[in-house]
Amino acid sequence: MKVGIPKRYEGRKIDAHAHIGKFGSWAGLESTAEELVAQMKLYNVKKSALFYSDNDLVRQAVEKYPEQFVGYVWPNPNDGEKSTELVRRALRDWKFKGIKLHPLFNAFLPNDKIVYPIMEEARRFKVPVAIHSGHPPFSLPWSIGELAENFRDVTIVMLHMGHGHGIYIHAAINTARRLDNIYLETSGMPMHTKVKEAMDVVGENRVMYGSDSPFHEPAVEIDRICSAGLNERQLEKIFYQNALDTLGF
């Protein structure tokens, strides 16, 4: 163990995972576009990938803050053709630049055939697919790996890189190591050591910062990365350059 107080990285950032809207029930969270923009300013975040289950709310926010927000469409594959049509409309007409899938929230397995038409659209529009990871039974890294294996030319961002469970985090790293179309996003993942391990094992270009605001406070998410013992070049990559290169911002 290395003993020392980490210095916070003040450089520019891209947030690969942010929300606005209301998350009721157990979460009890809420935030507005204005609040998120103000928060981004505090932490020198230049752009955020924005998604929420109410896609219209995201569309309005992106129209209002085109410099700050990049819209991701959030379909529910259980809706069949309706979800594919939503994806097409968002990518073509609203100029959204990514797709978000939440297998746990919407109750489907990542590699289920109902997801394939959505992946075909991702391929056609050349946009990344960000997928929530870290909770059984629907969003485990191994299952996301099965999907990534079937769509090797589609960029998949594994959100939370396994989330709160050490075994899942290990699996996220191993799955991404095996499949180079998988990128890891760090929000909500508690182990600073795994940030460093992912950079070393998966690759310096394939790990990126995300806050998952308002679920997590950026200060905590940023400081965890700053505790990982990365050098200046690696910090610039994980906080900014990797998302810029990969997500097409």
Helices (H), 65-217: 81-92, 103-106, 116-125, 141-150, 166-178, 192-201
Interaction residues for Zn ion, span 111-150 (CB under 5 A): none
Q: Cβ 17 to Zn ion, closest distance in Å?
A: 6
Residue with tokens 């990938």: 49
Q: Cβ 45 to Zn ion, closest distance in Å?
A: 15
Comparing CB distances to Zn ion, the nearer of 121 and 221 is 221
Comparing CB distances to Zn ion, the nearer of 20 and 171 is 20
Is the backbone of residue 162 left (phi > 0), alpha (psi -120 to 50) or beta? left
Q: Cβ 159 to Zn ion, closest distance in Å?
A: 6
Q: Cβ 115 to Zn ion, closest distance in Å?
A: 18
How many CB atoms are located within 10 Å of the residue 26 CB?
6
Comparing CB distances to Zn ion, the nearer of 121 and 212 is 212
DSSP per-residue letters across 39-106: HHHHTTEEEEEE--S-HHHHHHHHHH-TTTEEEEE---GGGTHHHHHHHHHHHHTS---EEEE-HHHH
> Nearest-CB residue to Zn ion?
212
The tokens for 114 are: 């109902």
To which H or E segment does residue 160 belong? none
Single-letter residue type at 49:
A
Comparing CB distances to Zn ion, the nearer of 172 and 230 is 172
Comparing CB distances to Zn ion, the nearer of 77 and 188 is 188
CA distances from 248 to 78, 180, 205, 229 (A): 28, 17, 14, 28
Q: Is the peptide bond before 66 cis (omega within 30 degrees of 0)?
A: no
Q: Cβ 216 to Zn ion, closest distance in Å?
A: 9
Comparing CB distances to Zn ion, the nearer of 155 and 234 is 155
Q: Cβ 130 to Zn ion, closest distance in Å?
A: 9
Most distant CA atoms of the chain, gap in Å: 54
Comparing CB distances to Zn ion, the nearer of 103 and 230 is 103
- Asked if residue 15 binds Zn ion (CB under 5 A), the reply is no
Q: Cβ 200 to Zn ion, closest distance in Å?
A: 26
Interaction residues for Zn ion, span 182-221 (CB under 5 A): 212
How far is 38 from 210, CA to CA, in rounded Å?
Answer: 16
User: What does the binding site for Zn ion look like in residue numbers (CB under 5 A)?
Assistant: 212
